[in-house]
Amino acid sequence: KPHKIDHIGVAVKSLEHALPFYVDHLNMALEGIEEVESEMVKVAFLRVGESRIELLEPTSEESPVAKFIEKRGEGIHHIALGVHSINERIKDLKNDGIRMLNEQAKIGAGGAKIAFIHPKPASGVLYELCEKRATGEDK
Ligand code: CMX
C-alpha cells in the first residue's frame, strides 16, 4: 500500500518566478533546490506537513516537462505515492496488466527510486511511485 503522498509535482516555467508565491504567501518552507540531469529538470521542494510540493522547471527544450508546459500550460504534473518496496509494486502492477512508463525504477531527486505509471487507467493522472532512500529523517 502507498503510505503517503510523498509529493505533488507542479510544472513551472521558472522556479525564480514561481517560488515567491509558495514561500512568501503560502508560507511553505523551501527545503532545497536540486538539478536532476537525467530527468532534465531543476526541482524545488516545499514542505507541507509530511508531504511536499515539488516545483519542476525544465532545463532543456527536450525535457518532457517543457513539452508538458507547451501542450497543457503550467500546472499539476504528477502525484508521487510513497511506497516501501518499489520493485515489488512495479512487479504487482505489471502482473495486474497495468502499463508502466518505467518498467525499472530509476533514480530521481534526493536519490529516491521512482517509476511512473501510464495515466490511462488512473483517469488521466500521472502517478509516480517513490521509494525514498533510507535516511531515517523521512518518516
Ligand atoms: N499528466 C497526465 N498525462 C501525461 C503526463 C502528465 N504529466 N505526461 C504524459 N502524459 C500522458 C501522455 O499524453 C501519453 O498519453 P498517450 O499514451 O495516451 O498518448 C502518456 O502519458 C505517455 O506519455 P509519453 O510522454 O508518451 O511517455 P514517455 O514514456 O515519453 O514519458 C513521462 C514518460 C510521462 C514520465 C515523462 O514524459 C515525464 O513527464 N518525465 C518527467 C518526469 C519527472 O517529473 N521527473 C521528476 C524528477 C524529479 C523527481 O521527482 O525525482
Q: How far is the CA of 53 from the centre of ligand 1 (A)?
A: 18
Kindly give the distance from the C-alpha atom of residue 125 to the centroid of ligand 1, in angstroms, as a whole number. 10
Domains for the chain: give ranges and CATH numbers.
Answer: 4-131 (3.10.180.10)
Q: What band does 2 get if pLDDT is binned at 50, 70 and 90?
A: confident
pLDDT tens track for 119-129: 999 999 999 99
pLDDT at residue 133, rounded to an integer: 84
**Interacting residues of 112 by C-beta distance below 8 A, sequence separation 6+:** 6, 130, 131, 132, 133
Give the pairing of strands 106-107 and 41-48: unpaired
- Pocket lining: 126 vs ligand 1, CB cutoff 6 Å: yes
Task: Determine the Cα–Cα distance for residues 132 and 139; give it in Å rounded to an integer.
Answer: 10
Q: What is the arithmetic mean of pLDDT over 84-102?
A: 97
For residues 56-64, average pLDDT = 97
pLDDT grade for 135, boundaries at 50, 70 and 90: low
Q: How far is CA 66 from CA 48, 54, 58, 103, in A?
A: 25, 15, 5, 23
pLDDT, tens only, 19-29: 999 999 999 99
- Position 3 scores a pLDDT of 85
**Atom number, ligand 1, closest to the C-alpha of residue 64:** 37
